């Protein structure tokens, strides 16, 4: 009895020490020698019959006939292709909630607080060569919640282990139909129009400026009390200071021009990325002039009116206009075959292999501020790698193995059917989810497939 | 001065112009419906039905393939298309779409696939096909010449139809008078974690749903009996008093029109097989079958063909292997089920070749995957004498590609639908041409 009690005390102490604080243990790092592969570095061409030596989670060397120290796993990749782990700049996997749709500005919440390591979607994305995802708040609000960049370290049970260490924080903005529908149509509060969207954003920025000024005045002794604490304004002040990047959902050219002006007025052009951006192609010169990166759907269109005047050539037009463009998934399905989405840019445009691969590797890495760590196969970078049976832009390519920090997190040859981390031994009857039955006319994709949704409201939200 | 009435008429006319402008900003159809004759020369002919011919010529006259092979005379006056280094394929068929009956996903008044009511056999999707839908040219450019457009909702959604993706009226587009009565088989089990019904409720609702179908079928059979009696002897027997849905069920209960049964869950598929057996249905085509692989043997034994897909989709259960949906069509094919592929799409029917490519990457042979989007659906719909392969006498619905049409990088260079040489243009290519190198660029005033 005493012993057990003793153990319990220790357990409580350990929980107090580590469990209740977001203390991040060093996540697992691996070693490996990948031999004799065709290596798509993306930034430095394609290397035939090449080895990659991974030590302690990083790419130590790239070359021919490398040798592995004893004990290091050797992976024969003869006849196979290696590309950088795929990066999805817009995802909603691995979180328990997507939208805090209760008011037009919800900078005070963040999806990083609801990371869900049990989401099977993480493993399925890994099985498609994806290693990093920018997990985003939903698009119900003109200024939504904060996002979280994660590495797909599936198998870990601590949500903290998924955070991409050092990735710049980002926040979701949303323009057009979604905030107009949810607030203007749904609640009769601004925004009901694109004018209202601009006002909500400018007004929030002004409030944050006043908040900061009041705090400074208090610090300088010019005020007797600080302003009432507001988490929302604290976050917005960090946005205005350039410490939190803005990633804005957008569809129409006019609303993108509007937000670019707002962003410029507040001096945030260097920490700004456009997302979805169905009509970005129409204003490619204006976007290029400001040097703003854009992350787009490959071929989704027509699911709502602001997505109707569309072309699947969007990405190609942006790239040819000198814009750092990426392709994102915004879907638990598409995140499993981003290599294939990228390949379509060669049908809808004339991008080279490296340009096409860059759409899902180095370009999203730049957009997320993590290109010093991931997005290409270079010595010194993280060993986030995807091995394919064939050229990853071929329709017949099958992902074989995915490494995150040098750790093999997916191996097709050793893949058991059921990869869930949380299985209820009693009543483990999994009910079938048929995407097509969730056939909301507001949806898109296969008659309206959205993410393997978590709650009903998220289902009803459009991309 | 204009009178008030004139102004009203003018404003109606202007709104009409505006509405027309919205849907038809770009030429949707062939400028001149050029029906040839054409000769495609020096081509690799992938016939599907009869192997591959290298260095072949294919002749199109009066909308039909009139000759193909290596020793073919080119008819006088034919437009010659030199396809050196390229391949000719039969047009692809998507066996389940909403092309033509939806325009903008979120605007319900642009959607015509889901009528009010549980049993709607009298609804005919062909009525609602918008021949000038902007979605059609965007999608056919992938080499897709023909699709099933289907209604949805309720228990019987109405009649799906096989249409060519070129034509100015629904009847011009309709192929071989093919209609399929679309039946959504009831869900007999728990639908998912959000389904809070008790086991008893689930069982009762499933039983009631099947009883409802049986009742409709029984009434339709009775209606057919009265109708037949009347036809045989109009003087002695009265015609049945007109009931629209029973009238519409006549060809179904007389086994003249196939029933397309949409069903996905393994348990529901088993129940559907039992029900089909009990009712003695002879002409059934399954659609969906997401979990078909779980009951592949039973499906093969039953012997009905299946329209399977989408291929590129999520596994149905959290516990399922990540690639089950990719493998599903191949596993069914291996078990002996005759299959064709469907995207279940509208805006992106153009992904059909990629769906076939994924099926091939995950277990099907490339030949079988090609067949599943060409000859197999033509056979299933009973139009193999018209479509599905490159053969003399068939409709010239085909395309020329500079490589494997399942590969994204391949370009489709020419498209023929029912003999019409259809331009490789759509609103999306027009936008690409206009905006790739936009002029003026960022200048506020155009440069002199």
Q: What is the ipTM of this complex?
A: 0.92
Q: Does A310 touch chain B (CB under 8 A)?
A: yes
User: Is there a contact between B432 and A349 if contact means CB atoms under 8 Å apart?
Assistant: yes
pLDDT tens column, B161-211: 999 999 999 999 999 999 999 999 998 888 777 788 898 999 999 999 999
Contacts of A423 in chain B (CB under 8 A): 319
**Is it the case that residue B79 has pLDDT exceeding 90?**
yes
User: Is there a contact between B347 and A444 if contact means CB atoms under 8 Å apart?
Assistant: yes
pLDDT of residue A436: 75
**Is it the case that residue B18 has pLDDT exceeding 60?**
no
State the Cα–Cα distance between residues A312 and B437, nearest whole angstrom.
16
**Is it the case that residue B3 has pLDDT exceeding 90?**
no
**Residues facing A154 on adjacent strands:** A156
State the Cα–Cα distance between residues B183 and A114, nearest whole angstrom.
41
B441 belongs to a structural domain = no
Q: What CATH number did the domain enclosing B317 receive?
A: 3.20.20.140
Q: What is the least distance, in Å, from the CA of A376 to any CA of chain B?
A: 22
* Count of CB atoms situated within 10 Å of the CB of B282: 10
Tokens of B29: 């159809």
Q: In terms of pLDDT, which residue wins out, B295 or A7?
A: B295
Would you say A318 and A287 are in contact if contact means Cβ atoms under 8 Å apart?
yes
pLDDT of residue A432: 73
Contacts of B428 in chain A (CB under 8 A): 310-313, 348
By Cβ distance, the residue of A417, A428, A441 closest to B111 is: A441
Would you say B399 and B145 are in contact if contact means Cβ atoms under 8 Å apart?
yes
User: Is there a contact between B320 and A127 if contact means CB atoms under 8 Å apart?
Assistant: no
By Cβ distance, the residue of B191, B427, B438 closest to A431 is: B191
pLDDT of residue A449: 33
Q: Range of B380's domain?
A: 92-188+217-387
Of the candidates A246, A221, A225, A243, the one whose C-alpha atom is nearest the C-alpha of residue A234 is: A243
Q: Give the CATH fold of the A85-376+437-460 domain.
A: TIM Barrel (3.20.20)
Regarding beta strands B339-341 and A148-151, do their DSSP bridges make them parallel or antiparallel, or are they unpaired?
Answer: unpaired
- By C-alpha distance, the chain B residue nearest A318 is B436
State the Cα–Cα distance between residues A149 and A214, nearest whole angstrom.
32
pLDDT of residue A461: 56
The sign of the CA dihedral A26, A40, A402, B352 is positive
pLDDT of residue A119: 95
pLDDT of residue A435: 75
pLDDT of residue A424: 67
pLDDT of residue A430: 56
Q: What's the number of domains chain B is made of?
A: 1
Q: Does A305 touch chain B (CB under 8 A)?
A: yes
pLDDT tens column, B253-268: 999 999 999 999 999 9
Regarding beta strands B398-401 and A130-135, do their DSSP bridges make them parallel or antiparallel, or are they unpaired?
Answer: unpaired
Where chain A has pLDDT below 50, the residues are 1-2, 4, 16, 18-22, 427-428, 440-460
pLDDT tens column, B96-130: 999 999 999 999 999 999 999 999 999 999 999 99
pLDDT of residue A446: 39
Please name the residue ranges forming H helices in A305-393.
314-320, 338-343, 353-358, 362-368
State the Cα–Cα distance between residues A303 and B31, nearest whole angstrom.
28
- By C-alpha distance, the chain A residue nearest B313 is A333
Task: Print the SS3 string covering A84-143.
Answer: ECEEEEEECCCECCCCCCCCCECCCCEHHHHECCCCHHHHHHHCCCEEEEEECCCCCCCE
User: Is there a contact between A285 and B441 if contact means CB atoms under 8 Å apart?
Assistant: yes
User: Is there a contact between A304 and B265 if contact means CB atoms under 8 Å apart?
Assistant: no
Q: What is the least distance, in Å, from the CA of B256 to any CA of chain A?
A: 28
pLDDT of residue A451: 33
Contacts of A317 in chain B (CB under 8 A): 432, 435-436
B112 belongs to a structural domain = yes
B86 belongs to a structural domain = no
User: What average pLDDT does chain B have?
Assistant: 92
Judged by CB atoms within 8 Å, which residues 322-361 of A form the interface with B? 332-333, 336-337, 340, 343-344, 346-349
On the CB side of A265, how many CA atoms lie within 13 Å of its CA? 13
pLDDT tens column, B329-366: 999 999 999 999 999 999 999 999 999 999 999 999 99
Phi, psi angles (nearest 5°) of residue B59: -110, 135
- By C-alpha distance, the chain A residue nearest B133 is A302
Q: A125 vs A77, A91, A112, A415, B211, CA distance in Å?
A: 21, 10, 19, 14, 42
3-state secondary structure of B425: coil
In the 8-state DSSP scheme, what is residue A182? I
**Is it the case that residue B404 has pLDDT exceeding 80?**
yes
Residues sharing a CB contact under 8 Å with residue B104, sequence separation 6 or more, in sequence order:
A302, A303, A304, A305, A308, B110
pLDDT of residue A26: 81
Helical pair B352-361 and B324-335, crossing angle rounded to 10 deg: 80
User: Is there a contact between B435 and A281 if contact means CB atoms under 8 Å apart?
Assistant: yes
Q: Domain locations in chain A?
A: 85-376+437-460
pLDDT of residue A10: 56
pLDDT of residue B35: 79
Q: What is the least distance, in Å, from the CA of B432 to any CA of chain A?
A: 6
Across the A/B interface, how many CB contacts are shorter than 8 Å?
A: 194
Judged by CB atoms within 8 Å, which residues 269-298 of A form the interface with B? 281-282, 284-286, 289
pLDDT of residue A14: 52
State the Cα–Cα distance between residues A215 and A222, nearest whole angstrom.
10
State the Cα–Cα distance between residues A250 and A257, nearest whole angstrom.
10
Phi, psi angles (nearest 5°) of residue B269: -65, -45
Q: What is the least distance, in Å, from the CA of B123 to any CA of chain A?
A: 19
Would you say A377 and A84 are in contact if contact means Cβ atoms under 8 Å apart?
yes
In the 8-state DSSP scheme, what is residue B162? E
Please name the residue ranges forming H helices in A266-381.
284-290, 314-320, 338-343, 353-358, 362-368
């Amino acid at each position: 009895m005493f012993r057990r009690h003793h153990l319990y005390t220790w357990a409580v102490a350990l929980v107090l020490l580590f469990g209740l604080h977001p203390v991040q243990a060093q996540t697992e790092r691996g070693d490996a020698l990948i031999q004799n592969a065709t290596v798509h570095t993306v930034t430095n061409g394609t290397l035939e019959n090449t080895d990659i030596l991974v030590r302690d989670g990083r790419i130590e060397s790239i070359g021919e006939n490398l040798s592995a120290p004893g004990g290091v796993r050797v992976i024969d990749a003869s006849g196979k292709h290696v590309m950088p782990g795929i990066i999805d700049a817009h995802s909603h996997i691995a979180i328990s909630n997507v939208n805090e749709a209760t008011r037009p500005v919800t900078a005070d919440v963040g999806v990083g607080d609801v990371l869900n390591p049990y989401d099977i979607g993480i493993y399925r994305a890994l099985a498609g060569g994806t290693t990093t995802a920018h997990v985003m708040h939903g698009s119900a609000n003109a200024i939504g919640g904060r996002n979280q960049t994660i590495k797909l370290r599936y198998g870990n049970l601590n949500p903290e282990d998924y955070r991409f260490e050092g990735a710049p924080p980002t926040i979701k903005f949303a323009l057009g139909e979604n905030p107009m529908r949810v607030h203007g149509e749904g609640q009769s509060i601004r925004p009901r129009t694109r004018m209202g969207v601009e006002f909500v954003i400018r007004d929030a920025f002004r409030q944050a400026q006043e908040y900061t000024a009041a705090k400074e005045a208090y610090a300088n002794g010019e005020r007797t009390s600080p302003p009432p604490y507001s988490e929302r304004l604290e976050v917005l002040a960090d946005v205005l200071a350039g410490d939190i990047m803005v990633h804005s959902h957008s569809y129409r050219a006019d609303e993108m021009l509007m937000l670019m002006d707002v962003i410029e007025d507040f001096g945030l052009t260097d920490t700004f990325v456009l997302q979805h951006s169905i009509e970005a192609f129409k204003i490619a010169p204006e976007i290029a002039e400001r040097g703003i990166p854009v992350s787009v759907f490959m071929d989704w269109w027509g699911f709502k009116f602001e997505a109707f005047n569309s072309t699947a050539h969007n990405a190609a037009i942006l790239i040819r206009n000198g814009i750092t463009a990426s392709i994102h998934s915004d879907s638990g399905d598409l995140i499993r075959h981003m290599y294939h989405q990228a390949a379509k840019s060669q049908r809808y445009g004339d991008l080279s292999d490296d340009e096409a691969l860059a759409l899902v590797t180095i370009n999203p890495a730049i957009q997320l501020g993590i290109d010093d760590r991931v997005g290409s196969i270079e010595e010194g970078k993280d060993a986030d790698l995807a091995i394919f049976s064939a050229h990853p832009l071929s329709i017949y390519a099958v992902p074989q193995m995915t490494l995150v920090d040098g750790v093999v997190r997916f191996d097709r040859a050793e893949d058991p059917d059921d990869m869930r981390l949380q299985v209820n031994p009693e009543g483990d009857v999994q009910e079938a989810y048929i995407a097509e039955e969730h056939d909301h006319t507001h949806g898109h994709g296969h008659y309206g497939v959205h993410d393997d949704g978590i709650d009903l409201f998220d289902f009803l939200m459009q991309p | 001065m204009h009178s008030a009435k004139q102004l009203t008429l003018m404003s109606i006319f202007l709104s009409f112009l505006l509405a027309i402008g919205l849907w038809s900003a770009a030429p949707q159809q062939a400028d001149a419906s050029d029906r040839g004759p054409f000769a495609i020369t020096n081509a690799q002919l992938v016939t599907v039905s009869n192997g591959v011919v290298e260095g072949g010529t294919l002749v199109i006259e009066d909308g039909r393939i009139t000759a193909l092979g290596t020793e073919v005379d080119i008819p006088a006056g034919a437009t010659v298309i030199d396809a050196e280094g390229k391949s000719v394929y039969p047009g692809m068929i998507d066996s389940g779409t909403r092309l033509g009956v939806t325009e903008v996903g979120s605007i319900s008044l642009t959607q015509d696939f889901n009528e009010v009511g549980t049993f709607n056999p009298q609804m005919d999707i062909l009525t609602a096909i918008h021949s000038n839908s902007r979605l059609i040219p965007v999608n056919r450019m992938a080499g897709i010449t023909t699709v099933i457009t289907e209604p949805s909702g309720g228990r019987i959604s109405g009649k799906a139809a096989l249409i060519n993706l070129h034509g100015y009226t629904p009847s011009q587009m309709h192929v071989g008078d093919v209609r399929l009565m679309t039946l959504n088989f009831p869900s007999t089990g728990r639908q998912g974690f959000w389904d809070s019904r008790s086991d008893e409720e689930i069982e009762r609702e499933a039983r009631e749903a099947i009883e409802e179908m049986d009742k409709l079928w029984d009434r339709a059979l009775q209606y057919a009996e009265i109708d037949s009696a009347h036809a045989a002897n109009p003087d002695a027997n009265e015609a049945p008093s007109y009931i629209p849905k029973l009238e519409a069920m006549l060809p179904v209960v007389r086994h003249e029109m196939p029933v397309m049964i949409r069903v996905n869950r393994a348990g529901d598929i088993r129940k559907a097989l039992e029900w089909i057996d009990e009712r003695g249905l002879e002409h059934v085509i399954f659609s969906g079958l997401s979990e078909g692989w779980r009951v592949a043997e039973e499906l093969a034994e039953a012997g009905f063909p299946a329209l399977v897909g989408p291929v590129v989709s999520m596994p149905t259960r959290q516990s399922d292997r990540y690639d089950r949906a990719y493998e599903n069509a191949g596993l069914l094919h291996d078990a002996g089920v005759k299959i064709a592929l469907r995207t279940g799409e509208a805006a992106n029917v153009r992904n059909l070749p990629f769906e076939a490519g994924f099926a091939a990457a995950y277990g099907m042979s490339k030949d079988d995957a090609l067949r599943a989007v060409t000859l197999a659906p033509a056979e299933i719909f009973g139009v193999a004498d018209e479509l599905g392969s490159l053969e003399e006498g068939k409709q010239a619905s085909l395309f020329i590609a500079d490589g494997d049409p399942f590969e994204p990088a391949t370009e489709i260079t020419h498209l023929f639908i029912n003999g019409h040489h259809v331009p490789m243009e759509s609103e999306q290519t027009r936008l690409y041409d206009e905006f790739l190198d936009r002029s003026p660029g960022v200048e506020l005033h155009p440069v002199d």
